Amino acid sequence: MKLTKGKINELLTQPGCEHNHNKEGQTKNKSCTQQAQPGSAQGGCAFDGASIALVPITDAAHLVHGSIACSGNSWNSRGSLSSGPMVYKMGFTTDLSENDVIFGGEKKLYKAIAEIIKKYNPAAIFVYSTCVTALIGDDLDAVCKAATNKYETPVIPVHAPGFVGSKNLGNRLGGEALLQHVVGTKEPPYITAYDINLIGEYNVAGEMWGVLPLFKKAGIRVLAKITGDARYEEVCTAHRAKLNVMICSKALINMATAMKERYNIPYIEESFYGIGDMNRCLRNIAAFFGDEALMVRVEEIIAEETAKLDVALAPYRERLKGKRMVLYTGGVKSWSIVSAAQDLGMEVVATSTKKSTEEDKARIKQLLGEDGIMLEKGSPEELLRVIEKTKADLLVAGGRNQYTALKARIPFLDINQERHHPYAGYVGMVEMARELDEAVHSPIWRQVRKAAPWEIWQQEHESLLNLEAE
Amino acid sequence: MTTVLNPQKSLSVNPLKMSQPLGAALAFLGLKGMMPLFHGAQGCTAFAKVVLVRHFRESIPLSTTAMTEVSTILGGEDHVEQAILTIVDKYKPQVIGLLTTGLTETRGDDMGRILKIVREKHPELASLPIISVSTPDYKGSLQDGYTAAIESIVATDYGPFASDEPPTVSMKPQVTVLCSSHLSPGDVEELKSIVEAFGLTPVMIPDLSRSLDGHLEDNPHTVTTGGTTITQLKQLNRSCLTLAIGESMRKSAQILEGRFGTKYEVFPRLAGLDAVDAFLWRLSQILTSRCDHHFPLVPNIPANLQRQRRQLQDVILDTHFYFGGKKVSLALEPDLLYQTAWLLTEMGAKIQAAVTTTKSPILESLPIDNVTIGDLADLEDLAAGSDLIITNSHGTALSKRLQAPLYRMGYPIFDQLGLGQRCLVGYRGTMQFLFDVGNILMEEEAKHSPATLH
Ligand code: SF4
């Protein structure tokens, strides 16, 4: 697939994404087409997004064709975990030099691919184009094709140079590479009547491992994980699933819609965060298969898990009751976390709606009630203002905002990519409660807010002095 | 003389090198009221930000001109202009550090011309210094980008004093101290207090010890709240000497000599007894050299430093058992590699392998026969059988595979606390290094001692 304007447009106008169903009848995804603003843009590039989506395929090598900024500054920095192969964690790059920029990097790329195959023998190689290699016009497709033919290891071009857009668009371009070159290229060794794919879950901090046992217990088989802790081969067989379950993100919606068209696999959107959402996820999957026994099993699991949870959460509920949270995160995750927080008896006083669709917003509104603040923009200044106004007890947001909160001496919990604790599923709920409790009730807050004795002395004496002056 | 191997490889595996723009941004962050601006697509800035935030555990101000496919084809003038205006409006910086990336260098944006146009169109920006530096990421490494930024900082003309801005007057002689990228905020702090102890007024360039040291401010901020000030940069001509710490600072010192006639001296390293001795001795000469030579003054070394020196000698005695004969493999940027490799050698350790990121004349005088410009896979090949690995946090996996402990130095370090303040230079910093590494080596010995095997 060459990256054409038409292709990008198509990805930006995914009919399955409600971003595109806004009232004015505009047809493009706002969060995707929104041009990055010079001077104020903050997010990652399309290459970043594509690697977030694909690097979790653990037995593949990920080769970045570009100058050192792309790979050197980013490899080995993400939290998605593997239960086996580690080759995905290695940083491979062609590390372009000035000569390559002048004479082209195709030969170098071909040699790099050959070397990876010989030395590391990965299940596949994903090759990422980046700004400089896209600008000098290296023909990624041709090189990948030649290498695939020669070495019989799949070599997959990923066209997501940073300058084409945001991280969001990059996610989809990553999905596009899977659709074009991976999904449907192999048959699964066997199939069951309850095969599903999980799409958009990257096993950050091992989250998936808190959920997979539940599916197994219910008798639902996860055929392909796209892409958390995935093996290349399982993604190849994803076209044989009966149902696609999109997790917590519309990032890979293009995969779900395309697989519906091509392979007639319906999809549902679910979330693993919070008791309510986890229950609903299991129920919806069971309902989809319409199998009585399965539904009964799912109800049993839910009953068992919630009973266990009630016991485990009781002390936290007591301590977190009425605590006020400002939440700043993207998309579907926001309402999902809102309901999780409410499960714990916390109050969400403000949340982001930046990447949310109209549907998400409606749901958030309903959850938050009348006084809830919907944050469109999340500049650090804006966040601090809202925290002050609402007298919130903590900020829950992505790592990028961590120091916004801490520097203002406000408790913080990381909810995005780089964190280290799994919050998904029933077990994750306990983990999240524990972390929230630690954050809010830490004994440090008094200390970091405390003025020094001499500052207090000065203040007191200043007022005395002022009195005297009067 | 060390042979520098620079194999031309098609594939870099587990890169050691980080990009020039990242280094330049780091140098810029040592200026007060600074907002670094990357001229490129937004991802470069986002990655750099993540790296620095995770390393220092600080909020880091960085911004981007957010080039897109279309603006890359048409040219980036508008984006640079718009970015500068937005930054000035939103963050009110006292200075902007503008740096290029691979994308805009490949495209060939002429930054001098672009800035000239922006300045002509916006006379209101006249008093705002914009330091511009070329840092294509398809060349060099973090150290090179950092160095290039320092060269731009000292080459830029900051204009005369404004009427409301009196020059700082001091009776003490002023010296300019150029700090290479191998110095952490804690190192800069130590260095500054040493220079001050000799009755001198140092101007640190850059001064990371006031911006990235990790401290709480009373109010939220969006640009750096500390660092070298523009006022200081306006009076660099008053310095009686430039002290260039790290070989990479030589050219910057020469630029200052060219502009103001300031003599300079290069101190390639500041760790280890010999290196610190030489530095202090030179500092003590600055004041005495100003006195009448008919009445020679006894060099006056501050008492606390004399005491620290005796402590260091004692620490060297206590720790040398654990260093003697140990094989150490290092992958660090040239200046840091030089400082660390020599210190280890002086303690009796053997340098088994040395890998680095970029060319530098200093590489020819390492205490080892060969040094490879390469990546962490090269280190892994060369380091088998080492007793200790020294590199950044990316070395964790290889140190496990090689079953040798890892001491973290360089960038990035994302799995350790306290890097804003860690100090490994001066007598005090040398002691810290010997304790840190000595403890690791001692623990390792205990693990393999017969007593624990049974
Ligand atoms: S913006 Fe371009 S050059 Fe920068 S990291 Fe992303 S792909 Fe690489």
pLDDT digits (tens, 9 = 90+) for B143-190: 999 999 999 999 999 988 776 666 666 778 999 999 999 999 999 999
Q: Are A133 and B102 spatial neighbours (Cβ–Cβ below 8 Å)?
A: no
Q: What is the pLDDT of residue A21?
A: 46
Chain A residue whose CA is closest to B77: A38
Chain B residue whose CA is closest to A398: B50
Which of the residues A48, A73, A118, A129 would you substitute to probe the B interface, choosing the one with the greatest number of B C-beta atoms within 10 Å? Answer: A73
Contact residues for B308 (Cβ-Cβ < 8 A; gap 6+): B426, B427, B428, B431
Q: Are B353 and B374 spatial neighbours (Cβ–Cβ below 8 Å)?
A: no
* Contact at CB, B41 and A77, closer than 8 angstroms: no
* Contact at CB, A69 and B79, closer than 8 angstroms: no
The β-bridge relationship of strands A412-414 and A394-397 is parallel
Q: Write the residue in A94, A101, A107 that is nearest to B106 by C-beta.
A: A101
Q: With contacts defined as CB-CB under 8 Å, which chain A residues touch B79?
A: 38
Ranges of chain B with pLDDT below 70:
163-169, 289-298, 451-454
| Cα distances (angstroms) measured from residue B178 to each of A229, B204, B206, B313 | 47, 6, 7, 28
**Between residues 312 and 371 of chain B, which touch chain A (CB distance below 8 Å)?**
none
Q: What is the pLDDT of residue A355?
A: 64
- What is the C-alpha to C-alpha distance for residues A260 and A70, in angstroms, rounded to an integer? 34
Q: Write the residue in A39, A92, A164 that is nearest to B63 by C-beta.
A: A39
Phi then psi for B99, rounded to 5 degrees?
Answer: -130, 150
Q: What is the pLDDT of residue B297?
A: 66
* Contact at CB, B222 and A46, closer than 8 angstroms: no
* Contact at CB, B72 and A163, closer than 8 angstroms: yes
**Between residues 21 and 60 of chain B, which touch chain A (CB distance below 8 Å)?**
21-22, 37, 40-51, 53-54, 57-59
* Contact at CB, B138 and A162, closer than 8 angstroms: no
* Residue B41 Cβ < 6 Å to ligand 1: yes
Contact residues for A82 (Cβ-Cβ < 8 A; gap 6+): A56, A58, A88, A89, A203, A229
Chain B residue whose CA is closest to A163: B68
* Residue A47 Cβ < 6 Å to ligand 1: yes
CA B42 to ligand 1 center in whole angstroms: 7
Q: With contacts defined as CB-CB under 8 Å, which chain B residues touch A381?
A: 220, 222
Q: What is the pLDDT of residue A331?
A: 56
What percent of chain B shows pLDDT beyond 90?
87
- What is the C-alpha to C-alpha distance for residues A321 and A308, in angstroms, rounded to an integer? 20
Burial of A15 (0-12, 13-18, 19+ CB in 10 A): exposed
- For residue B421, give both structure tokens: 């303040």
* Contact at CB, B12 and A93, closer than 8 angstroms: yes
For ligand 1, atom 3, name the residue with the nearest CA: A131
Give the rounded distance of the alpha carbon of A246 from its chain centre: 12
Q: Is B424 on the interface with A (CB under 8 A)?
A: no
Burial of B159 (0-12, 13-18, 19+ CB in 10 A): exposed
Q: Is B143 on the interface with A (CB under 8 A)?
A: no
* Residue B107 Cβ < 6 Å to ligand 1: no
Q: Write the residue in B50, B80, B85 that is nearest to A77 by C-beta.
A: B50
Q: Is B169 on the interface with A (CB under 8 A)?
A: no
Q: Are A58 and A82 spatial neighbours (Cβ–Cβ below 8 Å)?
A: yes
Task: Point out the ligand 1 atom lying closest to the alpha carbon of residue A47.
Answer: 7
Q: Are A57 and A203 spatial neighbours (Cβ–Cβ below 8 Å)?
A: no
Nearest Cα to A327, choosing from A229, A437, A424, A401?
A: A401
Task: Point out the ligand 1 atom lying closest to the alpha carbon of residue B43.
Answer: 1
Q: With contacts defined as CB-CB under 8 Å, which chain A residues touch B51?
A: 73, 77
Q: Is B449 on the interface with A (CB under 8 A)?
A: no
Q: What is the pLDDT of residue A16?
A: 58
Q: Is B380 on the interface with A (CB under 8 A)?
A: no
Q: With contacts defined as CB-CB under 8 Å, which chain B residues touch A101?
A: 102, 106, 138
What is the tens place of the pLDDT at every residue in B53-84? 999 999 899 999 999 999 998 888 999 999 99
Question: Over chain A (470 residues), what is each successive 10-residue block's mean pLDDT?
Answer: 62 58 44 71 91 97 97 91 96 96 96 98 98 96 97 97 94 96 97 96 92 96 96 98 89 93 95 91 96 96 96 96 89 75 91 73 77 78 88 88 88 80 91 94 93 87 68
For ligand 1, atom 7, name the residue with the nearest CA: A162
* Residue B136 Cβ < 6 Å to ligand 1: no
CA B122 to ligand 1 center in whole angstroms: 30
A459 three-class SS: helix
A and B: number of Cβ contacts within 8 A:
210
* Contact at CB, B68 and A42, closer than 8 angstroms: no
- What is the C-alpha to C-alpha distance for residues B421 and B209, in angstroms, rounded to an integer? 8
Amino acid at A250: K
As separate numbers, helices (DSSP H) first and strands (DSSP E) second, chain A gives 21, 13
Q: With contacts defined as CB-CB under 8 Å, which chain B residues touch A155?
A: none
| Cα distances (angstroms) measured from residue B398 to each of A129, A428, B55, B375 | 27, 31, 20, 12
* Contact at CB, A37 and B66, closer than 8 angstroms: yes
Shortest Cα distance from B10 to chain A (angstroms)? Answer: 5
